Amino acid sequence: DGTVALDEDGLPTTKVKGHGIGMKSLSRFRDTYDASVLCTCEDGWFSTYIRVPWGESSPS
- Say how many domains are in the chain: 1
Which residue intervals of the chain are DSSP H helices? 21-33
Contact between 29 and 35 under an 8 Å Cβ cutoff? The reply is yes
Flag whether 59 is in a domain.
Answer: no
Residue 33 confidence class, pLDDT cut points 50, 70, 90: very high
Indicate if the pLDDT at residue 35 is higher than 60.
yes
Indicate if the pLDDT at residue 45 is higher than 80.
yes
Of 25, 26, 52, 29, the closest CA to residue 39 belongs to: 26
Average pLDDT over residues 6-31: 85
Flag whether 60 is in a domain.
Answer: no
User: Domain containing 40: what range?
Assistant: 1-54
Contact between 12 and 6 under an 8 Å Cβ cutoff? The reply is yes
